[in-house]
Amino acid sequence: MNSLFYVALLSVLPISELRGSIPLGFGLGLDPFLVVLTAVIFNFLAVFIVFFFMDNLHRLFLRAKFYRSFFDGYIKKNRSKIEKAVGKKTEFLALMILVAIPLPLTGAYTGSVLAWFFGISRRKAYLAIFLGVVVAALIMTLVSFGIFGLS
């Protein structure tokens, strides 16, 4: 099987995303430009997967009493607290930075869920997440080549 397929697969999986796909591609000796391009494209696909899931399945889950009470009680209450702390003016930058940091529980999946959760416009969310993915790819490229360390 083509080694680039594994780069694409790891890029779209929520556990690995760019943190796993870029080092793998470089480790397999693939062309760095092709690795980064493939990783960014497939990682950005996660945004559409998450928004589709949240837009369509959230309505179904609201029918379940446990989910509805959790969402109405805990989620809505904490949403307003976080919105007050971050503010609407800085949500684009905050979202981009969150996605750009290549650590566990950050990335395109988390950014997409948070963008949906906070009702950030799709256009703004797509751009912030895309820019965050590009920055994360740059960081992982530098780390993979040993130019920049995460120690």
CA 21 vs CA 28, 80, 92, 128: distances in Å: 11, 35, 26, 21
Give the mean model confidence (pLDDT) for residues 88-92.
83
Burial class (CB within 10 angstroms; exposed 0-12, middle 13-18, buried 19+) of 33: exposed
pLDDT at 1: 60
Residues 6+ apart with CB under 8 A from 113: 50, 54
Give the mean model confidence (pLDDT) for residues 80-90.
72
What DSSP element (H or E) covers 136?
helix 122-144
Answer whether 36's CB lies under 8 Å from 121's CB: no
Q: Summarize pLDDT for 101-113 with one digit per residue, the tens.
A: 998 888 999 999 8
The larger pLDDT score, comparing residue 88 to residue 66, is at: 66
